[in-house]
A and B are shown apart, each in its own frame.
Chain A
Amino acid sequence: MPTINLWATDGYISTPGGKSIYIWGFTDQEGGSAQLPGPTIIIKEEQPPAETVFDINLTNNLNEPVSLTFPGQKNVKVNGQRVQPQYNNGELVSLTNYALPGETITYSVTTSSPGTFLYESGTNPFKQVQMGLYGAIIVRPCDYEPHETGLCTAYGTGTGTEFDREYLLVLSEVDPAFHQAVKQGRDYDTRQFKPRYWMINGRCAPDTMLPDYTPQLPNQPYGAMILMEPGEKVLLRYAGAGIQNHPLHPHGHHTRLVGLDGRLLQNINNGEVNDLSYERFTVLAAAGQTCDQIYTWAGLGFDPATNPIPTTIPNLRNMSIGHLGWTLWSGSPYLGHKGELPSGMVSYNNAGEEYFMLHSHAELEITNWGAYPGGLMTMIAVYPPGTLGFNQGMLPTSL
């Protein structure tokens, strides 16, 4: 049975503007700093009828009770008993069993289904989840095998959820005034809640596009750039860890929504499969919900030799390129090609890859405290065939 050790503690995250924000969060390193989001828990299901159970030892290094809830899981136990809401003199103090400051509590979690889930604090949750006490759980189907045709799936072989690469996008919003109040031990009126930052994996754009474990963001280890090759099936896992709903729109293609809240969108009646998945170009990633989707981009077949684009490329000196002196563009309309950019322009293009924005269409959410670009935005980078590593965009099979 897998066992995960988590510590609830505090720490700081940083925004692209260089601001530092006090957080509470989880770490899987004893004595470590809180990270945002918490460590991703990846579990591979046992072959049914065996149940899949994992243990989490939560040690509370904060100064108030902390707990964990596991929305969507079948059964959660502490000391062999189902978890229960906790009262003190008749007053609800926690939605579930908690650890007092300095204590360790062990949750035994029985999974219910492959898919994407959240874990989050169930004690004073408006405060504690806002402060950062949340993370994602990925449950893999029992037959999951990375890179194996037909077995590299979100929900099991034969469910139509095969993928070539996968990316987890945990969504949240932050009101820095709230975090400051908690840091200073002041009261905060929840009606005043007003986010100024919107985040994917605890990062605001453009930091979302930095790699995993980039040294300048020690407590925000997970990147959110989607790297892929044309025609590949990319599994996008959205998890809404905030209290707002976010309409996410990837440029370049619709997504097919194959799983909602860690459940395959499919009914089977008397052996007859009714597929309930559907395609959208904007998916509302709502509070507490998860959306598993397959995204693909194949391009339009343009090629400079055999199928040139039907318009002329304007003189680029007459056009506006990029943003404030930098661009992600290669200078060419063709995948895998580079063109000449106006001199002085800094291009971050590597291999003639094409970039497609993935962002909240509630556009104020793609700012950092009102300044564009920022917030809940990242890029999908489509690289020329054969240029990305085998393990790019592959999360571990299990912990």
Chain B
Amino acid sequence: MKVDIRIAVTDGWIDTPDGIKHYIFGFVDITGVPEAEIFNYCGKAELMAPPLVFIVGDEVYLTLTNIGTPTRPDLDDPHTIHYHGFPNQIAFYDGVPEPSIAVPVGRNFTYYYKPLNPGTYMYHCHQEPVEHIQMGMTGPLIVRPADYDPDYPEYKTAYGHGTGTEFDREFYIFLSELDCHIHDLIAKVQDPDWTEYKPTYWLINGRSYPDTITNPTPCCLQQQPWSALIRANAGEKVLLRFVNLGFQQHALQLPGTVFKIIGMDAMRPLGRNGEDLSFFKNVVYISPGQSTDAIFTVPDPFQGQAGFPVVLSLYNRNLNKNYTAGMVPGGMISQVHIYPPGTLPPQTAPNQ
């Protein structure tokens, strides 16, 4: 199917639970927005960036429009989109400025992708990537198998019919860190020393706990639209799509269940002769630039009884990362809310 998407790049401000706002660069979806209105999106960058979801065989025309950074009007940085992990990409569409093209303020560039391999990928800006990735120009990208059909359980899979990757619900678990000192320097037109990088916040889907499990309000989280709350019925299969676009390794665990690792870096773990190398893990250890697809079966604490949702905690086993600015519990924590079988209707989009 031909898919037209238009993504704008701009800046914005995000919230952490301690009431502080942090300056970011980022992406926002402007697909279908009339030309005269695209500048309404200036300053409206989102963290995490809008997830991109394709199906194998799609012909994707992704237009990047640089609408500038109103908080830093002096900045005339070009930007790009790098589709991280796309096999056999040509340099022209790879989004790396040094060997191709970047997009200056006020300009557009259209990237073409025809994804042929399903899995969990990511995308980010590759202009001066240390700065632009840390500043928030990062998001997840899913490619569904060609036979994907959510109406038939055996075709609602991560990697295709017969690959053992069926799921009932799926969630982005998009990991990053934020060094508030560096964000502050950049808001104030100063140059950070990146070797002094020292994150103060650890984020899932662009939010720090308890924001990970709450809803935006008129004052807060307006530019962080993605909750990380995992809601599922007992007995269902839940696919977590972990992506790490921070600069640190992370170790996510979810006591009360066990992960089956069915994908790493948008590949089923398969030997050269098709050997199934999938395995079980309690901790998903994931380094920057990696993705992991983990499926768990939601335990059933109800045993036929009605009841209130039962909660499991998802958190970082690097326990120092479960804090907000080092002080209060927060950071890379989220929850699984388990409902009695049949309570929640089928999911129609990720992270519902």
Would you call B351 an interface residue if the criterion is a C-beta within 8 Å of the partner chain's C-beta atoms? no
In the complex formed, the residue of B with least CB distance to A198 is: B195
Would you call A373 an interface residue if the criterion is a C-beta within 8 Å of the partner chain's C-beta atoms? yes
**Residue in A277, A327, A355 whose CB lies within 8 Å of B272:** A277
Q: How far in angstroms is the closest Cβ of chain A from B61?
A: 7
Instruction: Give Cα distance in the complex from A196 to B197, angstroms.
Output: 11
Asked whether A319 and B107 contact (CB < 8 A) given A276-B277, A355-B98, the answer is: yes
**Residue in B101, B134, B196 whose CB lies within 8 Å of A319:** B101
Asked whether A323 and B264 contact (CB < 8 A) given A274-B271, A356-B91, the answer is: no
In the complex formed, the residue of A with least CB distance to B132 is: A363
Q: A323-B98, A356-B91, A360-B288 are in contact. List 20 more A-B contacts (CB 8 A).
A: A194-B195, A195-B195, A245-B249, A247-B288, A247-B289, A249-B289, A252-B87, A252-B88, A278-B277, A281-B265, A281-B266, A297-B88, A300-B90, A302-B90, A314-B108, A314-B109, A322-B97, A329-B101, A367-B194, A372-B130
A309 and B109 contact, CB distance less than 8 A: no
A311 and B85 contact, CB distance less than 8 A: no
Q: How far in angstroms is the closest Cβ of chain B from A288?
A: 16
B98 and A319 contact, CB distance less than 8 A: no
A370 and B275 contact, CB distance less than 8 A: no
**Residue in B59, B112, B196 whose CB lies within 8 Å of A370:** B196
**Which of B249, B269, B287 has the largest count of A CB atoms less than 10 A from its CB?**
B287
Within 8 A of B (CB), among A314-352: 314, 316, 318-323, 327-329, 333, 335
Instruction: Give Cα distance in the complex from A277 to B275, angstroms.
Output: 9
Q: How far in angstroms is the closest Cβ of chain A from B40?
A: 23
B101 and A364 contact, CB distance less than 8 A: no
Give 7 nearest A-B pairs by CB, closest first: A361-B289, A275-B271, A355-B99, A333-B92, A320-B78, A370-B193, A282-B289
B98 and A252 contact, CB distance less than 8 A: no
In the complex formed, the residue of B with least CB distance to A279 is: B267
Within 8 A of A (CB), among B70-124: 78, 82, 84-85, 87-94, 96-104, 107-112, 114
**Which of B87, B89, B194 has the largest count of A CB atoms less than 10 A from its CB?**
B194
Would you call A183 an interface residue if the criterion is a C-beta within 8 Å of the partner chain's C-beta atoms? no
Name the B residues within 8 Å of A284 (CB-CB).
249, 287, 290
B288 and A362 contact, CB distance less than 8 A: yes
Instruction: Give Cα distance in the complex from A321 to B56, angstroms.
Output: 31
Q: How far in angstroms is the closest Cβ of chain B from A3?
A: 38
B94 and A251 contact, CB distance less than 8 A: yes
B193 and A253 contact, CB distance less than 8 A: no
Size of interface on B: residues with Cβ below 8 Å to A: 62
11 intermolecular pairs with C-beta atoms under 8 Å apart: A252-B88, A278-B270, A297-B88, A314-B109, A316-B101, A319-B103, A320-B97, A322-B97, A356-B91, A361-B290, A364-B195
Instruction: Give Cα distance in the complex from A168 to B298, angstroms.
Output: 45
**Residue in B84, B93, B127, B249 whose CB lies within 8 Å of A281:** B84
B289 and A278 contact, CB distance less than 8 A: no
Q: How far in angstroms is the closest Cβ of chain A from B98?
A: 5
**Residue in A273, A282, A323, A364 whose CB lies within 8 Å of B273:** A273
Instruction: Give Cα distance in the complex from A371 to B91, angstroms.
Output: 24
Would you call B247 an interface residue if the criterion is a C-beta within 8 Å of the partner chain's C-beta atoms? yes
B94 and A300 contact, CB distance less than 8 A: no
Would you call A127 an interface residue if the criterion is a C-beta within 8 Å of the partner chain's C-beta atoms? no
On B, residues with C-beta under 8 Å from A are 59, 61, 78, 82, 84-85, 87-94, 96-104, 107-112, 114, 126-131, 133-134, 192-197, 247-249, 264-267, 269-273, 275, 277, 287-290
**Which of A253, A281, A284 has the largest count of B CB atoms less than 10 A from its CB?**
A281
Asked whether A320 and B101 contact (CB < 8 A) given A278-B264, A300-B88, A310-B112, the answer is: yes
A329 and B91 contact, CB distance less than 8 A: yes
Instruction: Give Cα distance in the complex from A331 to B46, angstroms.
Output: 33
Instruction: Give Cα distance in the complex from A372 to B78, angstroms.
Output: 15
Asked whether A370 and B192 contact (CB < 8 A) given A280-B264, A323-B97, A362-B247, the answer is: yes
Would you call A54 an interface residue if the criterion is a C-beta within 8 Å of the partner chain's C-beta atoms? no
Q: How far in angstroms is the closest Cβ of chain B from A153?
A: 13
Instruction: Give Cα distance in the complex from A77 to B230, angstroms.
Output: 57
Q: How far in angstroms is the closest Cβ of chain A from B143?
A: 13
Within 8 A of B (CB), among A341-399: 354-357, 360-364, 366-367, 369-373, 379
Name the B residues within 8 Å of A321 (CB-CB).
97, 101-102
Name the B residues within 8 Å of A363 (CB-CB).
129-130, 133-134, 194, 247, 288
Asked whether A251 and B89 contact (CB < 8 A) given A319-B104, A370-B196, the answer is: yes
Would you call A298 an interface residue if the criterion is a C-beta within 8 Å of the partner chain's C-beta atoms? yes
**Residue in A247, A252, A274, A355 whose CB lies within 8 Å of B290:** A247
Instruction: Give Cα distance in the complex from A298 to B86, angstroms.
Output: 12
Instruction: Give Cα distance in the complex from A304 to B87, angstroms.
Output: 21
Would you call A299 an interface residue if the criterion is a C-beta within 8 Å of the partner chain's C-beta atoms? yes
B94 and A356 contact, CB distance less than 8 A: yes
